Structure 1
Amino acid sequence: MNIARVEASAFNEQSQSGLRRFVSVPLLLIEDDTELAQQLCALLTHHGFEVTQASDGEQGAELALEKHFGLILLDVRLPSLDGLSVLQLLRQRRSTPVIILSAWGAEQDRITGLRHGADDYLAKPFNWTELMLRIEAVLRRSQPEAPGEQQLNYQQLQLNISSQQLWVGEQQVELTPVEARLLWQLMAQPQQLLSKRLLYPLVLERSLTDYDRSLDMHWSRLKRKLVQAGFPSERLITVHGKGYRLI
Structure 2
Amino acid sequence: MTLLPTCDDLNRTTPKILVVEDDKYLNDELKQLLSDSAYQVDQCHDGEEALSKALGESYHLVLLDLMLPVRDGLSMLNLLRKTDTTPVMIVSARHAEQERIQGLSAGADDYMAKPFNKEELLLRVDAILRRTMRPKAVEEQVLSHQNLTLNKAQQQVEINQQSVTVTPTEMGLLYMLIQNRGEVLSKAYLYQTVFHRQYSQYDRSLDMHISKLRRKLTAAGWDGSCLQTVHGKGYCLQ
> TM bucket by the smaller chain?
0.5 to 0.7
In 1, Cα distance between the equivalents of 2:46 and 2:181? 29
> 1:47, CA displacement in angstroms?
2.4
How many residues in Structure 1 have an aligned counterpart in Structure 2? 185
| Contact 1:201/1:207 (8 A) holds in 2 | no
Deviations 1:13-52 (A, max 9, x none): xxx2422627732211110011101111122223222211
In 2, Cα distance between the equivalents of 1:85 and 1:237? 25
1:225 maps to amino acid: R
1:25 lines up with 2:25 in the alignment: no
| Contact 1:113/1:121 (8 A) holds in 2 | yes
In 1, Cα distance between the equivalents of 2:18 and 2:156? 33
Determine which of 103, 110, 116 is the counterpart of 1:113.
103
1:140 maps to amino acid: R
Determine which of 170, 175, 183 is the counterpart of 1:206.
183
1:79 lines up with 2:66 in the alignment: no
1:18 maps to amino acid: P
Q: CA RMSD in A?
A: 3.7
* Correspondence for 2:166: 191
SS in 2 for 1:104: coil
| Contact 1:237/1:244 (8 A) holds in 2 | no
| Contact 2:64/2:88 (8 A) holds in 1 | yes
* Correspondence for 2:85: 95
Q: What are the ranges of 5 or more consecutive residues in structure 2 without an aligned counterpart?
A: 143-151, 158-164, 199-204, 215-238
- After TM superposition, the structure 1 = structure 2 runs for residues 208-223 of structure 1, keeping only pairs within 5 Å, are 214-215=186-187, 217-220=188-191, 223=195
Determine which of 117, 135, 155 is the counterpart of 2:125.
135
In 1, Cα distance between the equivalents of 2:67 and 2:58? 23
Q: What are the ranges of 5 or more consecutive residues in structure 1 without an aligned counterpart?
A: 1-10, 153-183, 209-213, 227-235
1:58 lines up with 2:35 in the alignment: no
> 1:206, CA displacement in angstroms?
2.8
| Percent sequence identity over aligned pairs | 36
| Contact 1:56/1:81 (8 A) holds in 2 | yes
| Contact 2:91/2:113 (8 A) holds in 1 | yes
Could you state the TM-score of these two structures normalised by the residue count of structure 1? 0.62
In 2, Cα distance between the equivalents of 1:188 and 1:110? 36
> 1:107, CA displacement in angstroms?
2.3
